[in-house]
Amino acid sequence: MKITNIKTIITAPAKLNLVIVKIETSEPGLYGLGCATFAWRSLAVQAVLDNYLKPFLTGKDPQRIEDIWQQCAASGYWRNGPELNNALSGIDMALWDIKGKLAGLPVYQLWGGKCREGALVYRHTGGSTPEEVEGQVRKYMEQGVMHLRCQIGGYGGGKSPLASPEGALPGQYFDPAAYARTTVELFAYLRKKLGPEVELLHDVHERLAPIDAVRLAKQLEPYRLFFLEDALAPEQGEWFRTLRGQCALPLAMGELFNHPLEWETLIKERLIDFIRVHVSQIGGVTPALKLARFCEQFGVRTAWHGPGDVSPVGHAANIHLDLAVPNFGIQEWGGFSPELEKVFPGCPKQKGAYVYLNGRPGWGIELNEQEAAKYPGIHEVPAWTQTRLPDGTSVRP
């Protein structure tokens, strides 16, 4: 059996670019699907797939997943960038899908079988006031969901008392001090109103200077968060030693990680509690499995990144990982629109606090290419990444 064709499909049913890889084989009707979604640079990922990986892989044996992963990672000499890793993830996931279909088994069975029946999820809540956030939390609690991420005013929210200077350039302005103050007020309000049983989470989104992130974590400690996410930027990883020494708040990290050296020290020194990588950003499920096993040795749990800019194929792969690894923690979950479910038949389903797979071979999910073509990619420069401080200084989101 050989790889006969590799197709790259960009579709945006939910107005976010999703990059899907379809690997076709010499076995009639046998193909695999993978997620290569880097929503903000989808054309760059497509170029890597179409111009480099497709000619490199055509004619190779699709069953040699590990060898193909290693060869693709090294074939360009320079490695571990987000464009290459996402392209590689699309290949890797599609090959595992083929492997599962060949065996007639869901992919998690190839990794040792289930450790649990469903994946515990958390949902997103937000609003412009604490009362609005509380209302969203209560709606999810009525559905049986007891883990809620809570934000006020969006990422870096909080109205600034400081006016911008004359002639300030356009961008997404935020005030770190106002954000930190309103966030503490939000969780004080929510704990008082909701009691101790509901699990609350928060995403800093790397919006604070390191010392301010340490202070925020200490101020949030009395409200017993399930975890505080991305308190520090990847470039400030050494500050996790200070943060860990200052408070006992559970910490989650990894959304922007590309390279193993970005997480190795944090895990070995037990400086984080949850690993939050975007699975396609690190190269797919082959490295994600190795990462999960590494984390298991140090008591770190998984909490794979699961926002709207992960395709349903990628979400399905996340859930297969969640069911198979013993050190699973929780899964971020946003749900699927009717348009997404029509483009991707077989999507995982949420029931109460858990998400379940359909038990079909491979990932258990398909791609309706005719429906996908109705939602062409949107190739614009994203506005939300053009972030600035009140005085107009450009900062990283």
Which tens digits make up the pLDDT trace of 57-98? 999 999 999 999 999 999 999 999 999 999 999 999 999 999
Q: What confidence score (pLDDT) does residue 281 get?
A: 97
192-223, pLDDT tens digit by residue? 999 999 999 999 999 999 999 999 999 999 99
Residue among 31, 122, 140, 155 flagged as catalytic: 155
Mean residue pLDDT of the chain comes to 96
Q: Are 39 and 309 in contact (CB under 8 A)?
A: yes
Cβ contact 358:344 at 8 Å:
no
Cα dist from 53 to 1, 234, 349, 376, whole Å: 18, 28, 33, 23
pLDDT at res. 94: 98
Please state the pTM of the whole predicted model: 0.96
CATH superfamily of 110-361: Enolase-like C-terminal domain (3.20.20.120)
The Cα–Cα gap between 322 and 238 comes to 29
Higher pLDDT, 93 or 384: 93
pLDDT tens for 273-292 read: 999 999 999 999 999 999 99
Q: Is 205 a catalytic residue?
A: yes
> Could you say which of 205, 278, 305, 315 is catalytic?
205
Nearest to 330 by CA among 118, 34, 111: 118
- The pLDDT tens digits for 105-123 are 999 999 999 999 999 999 9
* CATH T-level fold of 3-106: Enolase-like; domain 1 (3.30.390)
Query: How many of the other CB atoms lie within 10 Å of CB of 229?
Result: 24
- Confidence at 324, pLDDT banded by 50, 70, 90: very high
Res. 162 pLDDT band, cuts 50 70 90: confident
Confidence category of residue 159, pLDDT binned at 50, 70, 90: confident
Q: Can you give the pLDDT at residue 61?
A: 98
Q: Which residue type occupies 318?
A: N
Q: Under 8 Å CB-to-CB from 377, ≥6 apart: which residues?
A: 10, 11, 12, 17, 42, 43
Angle of CA points 372, 373, 376, to nearest 5°: 95
Domain boundaries, the chain: 3-106, 110-361
**Residue 20 pLDDT level (bands cut at 50, 70, 90):** very high
- Contact between 79 and 88 (Cβ < 8 Å): no
